[in-house]
Structure 1
Amino acid sequence: MEKKATGFASEKLYVLPSYLEDERKSHPLTSDAYITDIGSFPAARYHYRERPQGCDSHIFIYCASGQGWVQTEGNAAEKVAAGSFAFIPMGTPHAYGADEADPWTIYWFHLKGDGARHFVELLKSYPSPISLPAPDERKLLELFHECYELLVSRAYSAVHQAQVSQCVRYLLCLVASAASRREDVRSQGHVDRAIRYMNDRLEEFLTLDELSRQVRLSKAHLIAIFKRETGCAPIDYYLRLKMQRAGQYLDLTDNTIKEVGAAVGFKDPYYFSRLFKRIIGQAPSEYRNRLKG
């Protein structure tokens, strides 16, 4: 199969000259994040790029149509579909290319600077590649074209290059925001499933291992999203559900405190009473005798 890195019909390509790169690197308004290479490849059939030693800049690729793939060292190739944004950290051995049957149209740029590194670290916390909703896709392309045109037509203007630096930051913030919104929806689904599982088993004693298996997440990931969504760890939340159910039993039944504790999984009534007071703020007997209604 033919392979090529550039040379596509209607492609756009700009590489920052080395002496201008030195200026960007030293200027306080651009040193944190500056584009060294930028371009677009429409319907890039046979596109292929391989860098066994990695690249000296961070690479960002937005696929506007068609599809392709990205593979980094030690990982399986990831499909990059239309509307997806992929990135490759500086120094990471990699290869990427267009799908043979449905070659991608991509908008890409290389970025250097400490700010670029921080954006890569931020984006690493989300599943890759990152899918963008249509409004964000349109805004991303607007920002990309603004960066490209300023680099091509105003490369010697420090003010305009500072604008490019801020523009590319805005673009990456847009991508991170889209990833965060999507992850919030996904995380909420995991948390909801875990809470339903807890509510169905308040008379038992679940472990973190059991919960993580049920929602198919690692324990660390489950703890992280639970704290983000509810403010507490999964088992702490489970104990609160138990105390909430115990309060209902105390309100609505004449069961003894020992029987109420047993109904929510506690064999030791003294331990149940201490935990109830710690979470609810009153001992079970005080809670039952308080004025209601």
Structure 2
Amino acid sequence: MYHTWMRYFTPGPVHHRLGLVCLGVGLQHGTLPAVGPRTLDHHVALVVSAGTGWYATPDGRRRPVTAPALIWLVPGVPHHYGADPGHGWDECFVDFTGPATATYTELGYIEPARPVVPLSDPAAARTVVARIARAARRGNPLLEVETGAAVHELLVALRRARADLAPGGDPVLEALARDACTPLTVAEHAARQGMSPAALRAAVRRGAGCSPKDYLLGVRLGRAKELLAATELPVAAVARRVGYDDPAYFSRLFTRRVGTAPVRFRAQQGRAVPGGWSRQVPDPDDPPQLALEGGGDLDPLDGPGRPDAAT
């Protein structure tokens, strides 16, 4: 015996221009029949949250699947999988497509070469799938946009839930972010973490989808924007705070990557954000608490109470 619920959608061309569209959502559990062999023209993220089963590679070799796990089904690649016929499994899935899938693949969020990915905890991903399922009610005027936005969130949740990541995130990226504004070379960053430069490059590429240099630059420029927007520090002082001794080089780099000069960026933020300037240099690792109506605080890194996960 098994139980199944699913809905499928056909977003229009204008919705595809959003980058990702949801084509379907499903929740199933029990001794489900095997799927395939078949080949699809779109992506599917299938999350197995309980039970065991198998996945067959295109050459016919079977590999075990033990929950919690993610199975990637990608366009043009034959696949064949199924739950254990004796005990079954609990799964949820989302079908999706769109031009943004290429970028998510480049960044390592979608992994065609790794069809079965162990997960540490599928709860966050199942929460997103449950939200897609609720949005799938007939007559919802926001259906295509609401479910498409949720696919972006699902890819982030699945990336964060990978079992090869520490619960708080990627320790390599955390260490780089912590030391990003110090004047260290990539080789020196690698030595601090007990890695070779090649190993560091591979780790950052796997975790962030870019080179260490680009990752460090992104952190530095983000911090520079915060200082420009929230303090009256001179541009030269901002440059030094984020690791650049040459203010002119910093200004050229900022202008090239951000699209506007540091002084211009500050002027824009000063006009857009009322309330004047802070005398305290903001600490990005210590955000303020946001007051809620009726008392209590909300940490901006946490969301409001999550709905129950899909079952």
TM-score, normalization: structure 2? 0.50
2:23 to 15, 33, 36: 36
Amino acid at match of 1:139: A
RMSD over equivalenced CA pairs, Å? 3.8
- Residue in 1 that maps onto 2:154: 171
Q: Deviations over 1:82-101 (max 9, x none)?
A: 11111111111111111123
Q: Which residue of 2 aligns with 1:51?
A: 37
Specify the SS of the correspondent of 2:136.
Answer: helix
Contact map agreement 2:27 2:92 (CA 8 A) in 1: yes
Q: CA deviation at 1:28?
A: 4.2
Contact 1:33/1:165 (8 A) holds in 2 = yes
Partner of 1:11: 4
Q: Distance in 1 between matches of 2:56 and 2:198?
A: 26
CA deviations 1:218-254 (Å, max 9, x no partner) are: x97686239999x79xxxxxxxxxxxxxxxxxxxxxx
Change (3 A) 1:103 1:185: farther
Pairing partner for 2:165 from 181, 191, 195? 181
Matched, 1:151 2:136: yes
Do the aligned partners of residues 33 and 51 (structure 1) sit closer, same or farther apart at CA in structure 2, a change above 3 Å counting? Answer: farther
Distance 1:33 1:75, change over 3 A: farther
Larger fraction in helix: 1
**Unaligned stretches of 5+ residues in structure 2:** 175-190, 214-311
CA displacement, residues 82-141 of structure 1 (integer Å, 9 cap, x when unaligned)? 11111111111111111123311110121111123433452328855233333xx22211
* Larger Rg computed on CA atoms: 1
1:96 paired residue number = 81
User: Residues 1-293 of structure 1: matches in 2 within 5 Å?
Assistant: 9-16=2-9, 21=10, 24-28=11-15, 31-45=18-32, 47-52=33-38, 54-74=39-59, 76-121=61-106, 122=108, 123-124=110-111, 128-134=115-121, 137-155=122-140, 157=141, 159-179=142-162, 181-182=165-166, 184=170, 224-225=202-203
Cα distance between partner residues in 1 of 2:57 and 2:123: 28
Question: How far 1:176 sits from its partner (Å)?
Answer: 1.3
Distance 1:29 1:187 in 2: 32
CA distance in 1, matches of 2:205, 2:21: 36
- Count of matched residue positions in the alignment of Structure 1 and Structure 2: 188
Q: Is the 8 A contact 2:3 2:30 kept in 1?
A: no
Cα distance in 1, alignment partners of residues 3 and 205 from structure 2 = 49
Q: Report the 3-state secondary structure (helix = DSSP H, G, I; strand = E; otherwise coil) of the residue aligned with 2:61.
A: coil
Q: Structure 1 length normalisation: TM-score?
A: 0.53
Question: What's the CA shift for 1:169?
Answer: 0.9
Contact 2:6 2:25 in 1 (8 A): yes
1:84 and 1:74 mapped to 2: Cα distance?
Answer: 21
Assess if the C-alpha contact under 8 Å between 1:43 and 1:66 holds in 2.
Answer: no
- TM-aligned CA distance change 1:119 to 1:70, over 3 Å: farther
Corresponding letter in the other structure for 2:73: I
CA–CA separation in structure 2 for the residues paired with 1:97 and 1:43: 11
1:150/1:161 contact within 8 Å kept: no
Shift in alpha-carbon separation, 1:94–1:9, aligned structure 2, 3 A: closer
